């Protein structure tokens, strides 16, 4: 091996060793950082909309009477739910155990009433619900609230 080859080999060896040292130094710094952050416990609570919905009886009124809950298919009665507080965003707080009534007037007979008449009667039931201070809720809100509060246990066999 001549002097030139010996110098190149030694030079490459020094630079390779330096790279390994720098790499190890970076690894050590990264490990120290990770160990330091693991030693500081951080508690963060993030609430998703779904989690909040599961933990409260806050709901909006069903978009239209077709989405509302009607009990008893042979003679549909509107589930009219009473609310405790109307929130600024238009939602309603139904309280811990929501109260409700079934609106039966005008009576609906899906066997003899044509679809237009059924819709007219359902809207009349909705007007009565609003008149007595209630709201109609959707099927999704009904199942969510019923599962949490037990308020609608007698109606769960829809």
Does residue 53 form part of some domain? no
Task: Characterize the bridge pairing of strands 92-93 and 58-59.
Answer: antiparallel
> Does 73 lie in the same domain as 18?
no
Q: Quick one: pLDDT band at residue 128, thresholds 50, 70, 90?
A: very high
Q: What is the pTM of this model?
A: 0.59
In a domain, 86, yes or no: yes
144 close to 90: Cβ distance less than 8 angstroms: no
- State whether 37 and 100 are in the same domain: no
Residues 69 and 126 in one domain: yes
Q: Are residues 23 and 86 in the same domain?
A: no
> Could you tell me if 67 and 22 lie in one domain?
no
80 shares its domain with 113: yes
Q: Which residues contact 38 (CB under 8 A, 6 or more apart)?
A: none
Domain count, the chain: 2
23, 53 Cβ separation under 8 angstroms: no
Full residue range of the structural domain in which residue 149 is found? 59-155
- Give the sign of the dihedral formed by CA 29, CA 35, CA 40, CA 45: positive
Which of 141, 8, 1, 3 is CA-nearest to residue 79?
141
Q: For residue range 64-81, what is the model confidence (pLDDT) as tens digits?
A: 888 888 888 888 888 888
Task: Give me Rg for the CA atoms of the chain.
Answer: 34
**Could you tell me if residue 123 is inside a domain?**
yes
Continuous H helices in 55-134:
115-131
| Residue 52 placed within a domain | no
Tell me the pLDDT tens digit for each residue of 24-77. Answer: 777 777 776 666 555 555 555 555 555 444 446 777 788 888 888 888 888 888
């Amino acid at each position: 091996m001549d002097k030139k080859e010996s110098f190149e080999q030694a030079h490459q060896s020094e630079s390779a060793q330096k790279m390994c040292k720098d790499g190890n130094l970076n690894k050590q710094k990264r490990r120290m950082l990770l160990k330091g952050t693991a030693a500081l416990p951080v508690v963060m609570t993030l609430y998703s909309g779904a989690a909040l919905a599961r933990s409260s009886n806050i709901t909006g009124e069903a978009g239209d009477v077709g989405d509302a809950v009607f009990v008893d298919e042979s003679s549909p009665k509107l589930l009219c739910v009473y609310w405790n507080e109307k929130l600024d965003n238009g939602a309603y707080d139904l309280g811990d155990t929501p109260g409700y009534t079934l609106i039966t007037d005008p009576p609906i007979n899906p066997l003899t009433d044509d679809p237009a008449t059924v819709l007219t009667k359902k809207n009349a039931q909705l007007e009565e619900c609003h008149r007595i201070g209630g709201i109609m809720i959707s099927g999704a809100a009904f199942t969510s609230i019923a599962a949490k509060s037990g308020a609608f246990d007698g109606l769960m066999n829809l």
